[in-house]
Structure 1
Amino acid sequence: MPHAPAGRRSTPSTSQLDHVVIGGGVVGAAAARSLAARGEQVLLVEQHDRGHEHGSSHGATRISRMGYTEPDYVTLTQRAWDAWAALEAASGRTLLDRTGAVDHGRPEVIDAIAHALERAGVPFERLDLDEAAARWPGLAFEGHVLAHGTAGRIRSAETIEALLDLAASDGAALRFGVRVTGLDDHGDTVTVHLDDGIAVTTPSVVAAVGSWAPTLVGEVFAGRGASLPAIRVTQEQPAHFPSHLPDDAWPSFVHYPLDGGDVYGLLTPGEGVKVGFHGIGPVVDPDARDRTPVAAEVERLQAYVARFVPGVDATAPALISCLYDNSPSDDFVMDRRGPLTVATGFSGHGFKFAPVLGEMLADLATGGVPHPRFAL
């Protein structure tokens, strides 16, 4: 962890803490960074190592796009687009490669995306199938096609490091390999028990724990008369496929097949083109998953890629295992009760909003109100 630069305050002691952030994935890192930047005294604790592969944030790339059917999310992507630029400036790192994005498939979905983008003033193009195939020869298209330039590829692993480094430079203490074993709600404060025997009492806990939210904070919220929605934790298995094309041939892409289901993809430089079915994996315990691929799903993914992603070698998948913390509506869950703020339910589409989610959680933890769509 870098040392605080000269002129910045020192790392807070436990007696000085304003907030304990639980979770060192992208959402927790963004919350810690936003709080520390406001002058709050912050401790971040993460049960796994820094940059671990056990949750929903690992891997080198994620999609950034504005192609939503719901105006709330389009507005949030616009805020996020500006926030990514500000994060790049603050960190001195390139975090977003502006490749553009293409959506295709079921006409009713593509038309709804076009309507939402038009309402928000986001420029986009409608293309016919021949135009799309000529522009992106690595993909095969069906249905309607839409492209927009305010989209790209997030350097996700670098983003987490940038957020953690910025949090630390503003005085946040970062602890990894330390598991929270329990929370005691005292009314105005919470005591956080750690597995190294330390107990920290604080007026604010931000539990940015994704798949672990039900077991870690469910009882505390229930004791305050609020129930978390049923978070369904699934093990997803996208894969990287070797590309036949140069890197600049690949946009980020989302396909809504005419026969149902959603598929996403993007290039991960040096690893291949990542393609995955969205939110269809088996339900798992986040502490006890074995990462074993489902053979039938691997075959189904290869068959899809052979048909719709001709620019890669469908016979050579490098399988990936990741977690989704799915809410019943696929909406995020971010709210506060007393001293406890929760963040979960990101449903496989939260990473693109990370800098804004950090600000929203910092607002909640310092007395703000939740976004009505994400409230309990």
Structure 2
Amino acid sequence: MTDTADVVVVGGGAMGSAAAWQLARRGADVVLLERFAPGHTNGASHGASRIFRLSYPDRVHIRLAREAERLWRELEHVTGARLLTVTGGVDHGDHPYLLELAEGLAAGGVAHRWLGPEEAAERWPGIRFATRALYHPDSGRLHADRAVAALQDAARALGAVVRHETPATAIEVLGEDKVRVHTDGGSYTARRVVAAVNAWAAKLLDGLVPLPPLRVTQEQPAHFAALVPEARWPSFGHRFAEGTADAGHFYGGVYGLATPGEGVKVGFHGVGPEVDPDRRDFTPEPAQLAALREYAHQFLPGVDPAAFTPISCTYTTTPDANFVLDRHGPVVVATGFSGHGFKFVPAVGRVLADLAVDGTRPDRRFASAR
């Protein structure tokens, strides 16, 4: 059996679902294929909390985040889902990156201000501040599971077909404007395919498109029981200067945010063990889990470091941490979101729709070959 569509989107996580929504908004005949069941935990789009922020040192990411913020609100409006909660955000530590970040926020017109450690601790008693802190009030959190569901609901409402438990087994390029996507139950012929499979990109796209080296890791944050009400937690980052004892012990720094009903999510960024996404054990690495608990003990008086629930997710990281958003012939690729992509999801969907419809490319930093 062979069906036809204008665009087949492979990968029903956040990015693929956003692409399906944006393509359906333009009137395209879209089929979205997801290999797993709804709400699965095998990739990078599950859970109840992701950080949203405009706080980047460069205008490219700031512009993309602003666009995403507008589209998140639009998605909330059309679906009735509550997705983005503004809590404010704060970065602290002794790493020089904070100065670079403040300069970028000023250049990009993003609201921010420095707080002394005493003022920061008074505002957020769950965090211990040893240095001044950079506050950005427009930051917050996104509900990941609801976001994926809302994107698929919005795509369906515009006519897109969403098929779960339908893995794409191969992509066959038949011409500049023709591609066939194979599944165990048949195939789909289309003008374009959007491959938004992240950790599975190297497996599915081998030989079809050039890709930078992709490092797939199993990241291991945890939810700690909150001693300070969850409503009083910002999203936060703590960066240690390279070469310091804390940097070595705490893998350079941490991120965190409240997850209502689950506690405070705390994790190291991009330092988990490398894995095959089809052969994960979902088990925390003991040394990193011990370091995470020690960090909570030293720097988070607002949590109980002995009361925690480990979490497991994947990062797919490029050498420069920039995403891959590109097109080669009829194949559009989205991967390498490097642990900081979720905030941009609906804007990335717009970029992928542009690539599929008319080949409009985003900033060169997102090219697949660089």
Q: TM-score range by the shorter chain?
A: over 0.9
Report the 3-state secondary structure (helix = DSSP H, G, I; strand = E; otherwise coil) of the residue aligned with 2:358.
coil
Deviations 1:35-67 (A, max 9, x none): 011110000001100121000001011000112
**Structure 1: distance between partners of 2:2 and 2:90:** 48
- Contact 2:6/2:191 (<8 A) preserved: yes
Provide the C-alpha distance between the structure 1 equivalents of 2:95 and 2:310, rounded to a whole number of angstroms: 31
Bigger shift: residues 321-330 or 90-99: 90-99
| Aligned equivalents of 2:130, 2:206: Cα separation in 1 | 43
The answer for the alignment partner of 1:27 in structure 2 is 15
Q: Which AA in structure 2 matches 1:255?
A: H
> Which of 323, 329, 332 is the equivalent residue of 1:338?
329
For 1:232, the equivalent position in structure 2 comes to 215
Contact 2:3-2:187 within 8 A present in 1 as well? no
Secondary structure class of the residue paired with 1:150: coil
Aligned to 1:205: 193
Please say which of residues 204-213 and 251-260 is displaced more in the overlay.
Answer: 251-260
Q: What's the offset of the Cα at 1:257?
A: 2.0
Aligned residue among 95, 107, 129 for 1:119: 107
Tell me the CA shift for residue 86 of structure 1: 1.6
Percent of residue pairs identical: 47
Q: Write the mapping of 1:314-325 to structure 2, written as runs, cut at 5 A.
A: 314-325=305-316
Q: Aligned to 1:317, what secondary structure does the other structure show? A: strand
In structure 1, distance between residues paired with 2:124 and 2:3: 57
| Residue number in structure 2 paired with 1:193 | 182
Q: CA deviation at 1:15?
A: 4.5
SS in 1 for 2:9: strand
Partners of 2:7 and 2:123 in 1: CA distance: 49
Deviations 1:195-234 (A, max 9, x none): 22x011111000000000011012111xxxxx20011000
Within-5 A mapping of 1:272-283: 272-283=263-274
Tell me which amino acid in the other structure corresponds to 2:181.
V
3-state DSSP of counterpart to 1:21: strand
The residue that corresponds to 1:10 in the other structure is: none
1:249 alignment partner, one of 232, 252, 262: 232
Aligned residue for 1:347, secondary structure, equals coil
In the alignment, is the contact (CA less than 8 A) between 2:14 and 2:45 conserved in 1? yes
Contact in 2 for aligned 1:235/1:324 (Cα 8 Å) = yes
The whole-number CA distance in structure 2 between the counterparts of 1:14 and 1:364 is 25
1:375 equivalent to 2:367? Answer yes
Question: Equivalent of 2:48, from 60, 80, 88?
Answer: 60
How far off is 1:144 after superposition?
A: 3.5
Deviation per CA, 1:52-93, whole angstroms, max 9, x where unpaired? 100000101100011212222122212222222222112222
- Which residue is 1:9 aligned to? none
| Counterpart-to-counterpart distance in 2, 1:291 and 1:93 | 29
Structure 2: distance between partners of 1:116 and 1:155: 27
CA distance in 2, matches of 1:142, 1:73: 29
1:187 CA drift (Å): 1.7
The corresponding residue for 1:8 is none
CA distance in 2, matches of 1:110, 1:118: 12
TM-score normalized by structure 2? 0.94
For residues 309 and 14 of structure 1, do their structure 2 counterparts lie closer, same or farther at Cα, with a shift above 3 Å needed? farther
Q: Does the 8 A contact of 1:142 with 1:257 survive in 2?
A: no
Secondary structure in 2 matching 1:134? helix
- Picking from 247, 251, 261, the partner of 1:270 is 261
Deviations 1:338-366 (A, max 9, x none): 10000000000000001100101000000
- Say yes or no: does 1:96 pair with 2:88: no
Number of equivalences: 358
**Preserved CA contact (<8 Å) 1:67 1:103:** no
Correspondence list, 1:297-376, <5 A: 297-371=288-362, 372-376=364-368
Structure 1 alignment gaps of length 5 or more? 1-12, 222-226
CA contact 2:112–2:136 (8 Å) conserved in 1:
yes
| C-alpha distance in 2 between matches for 1:22 and 1:280 | 28
Does structure 2 retain, via aligned residues, the 8 Å contact 1:96–1:152?
yes
In the TM superposition, what is the alpha-carbon distance from 1:190 to its structure 2 partner?
1.3
Letter in 1 for 2:202: P
Kindly state the Cα deviation for residue 369 of structure 1 after the two structures are TM-superposed.
Answer: 2.3
Cα shift at 1:318:
0.2
CA distance in 2, matches of 1:187, 1:358: 24
Counterpart residue type for residue 351 of structure 1:
F
> Could you say which residue in structure 1 is the equivalent of 2:164?
176
The alpha carbon displacement at 1:142 in A equals: 3.0
Displacement of 1:16: 4.4
Contact 2:116 2:133 in 1 (8 A): yes
- The match for 1:5 is none
Contact 1:153 1:252 in 2 (8 A): yes
Deviation at 1:143, TM superposition (A): 3.2
- SS in structure 1 at match of 2:175: coil
- Displacement of 1:14 in angstroms is 6.2
Of 256-265 and 311-320, the range deviating more from structure 2: 256-265
Give the residue type in structure 1 aligned to 2:213: A
> 2: CA distance between counterparts of 1:195 and 1:309?
49
Partner of 1:154: 142
Distance 2:237 2:360 in 1: 33
Choose 73-82 or 351-360, whichever is displaced more: 73-82
User: AA paired with 2:79?
Assistant: S
TM-score normalised by length of structure 1? 0.93
Paired position in structure 2 for 1:83: 71
Q: Which one has a larger percent strand, Structure 1 or Structure 2?
A: 2
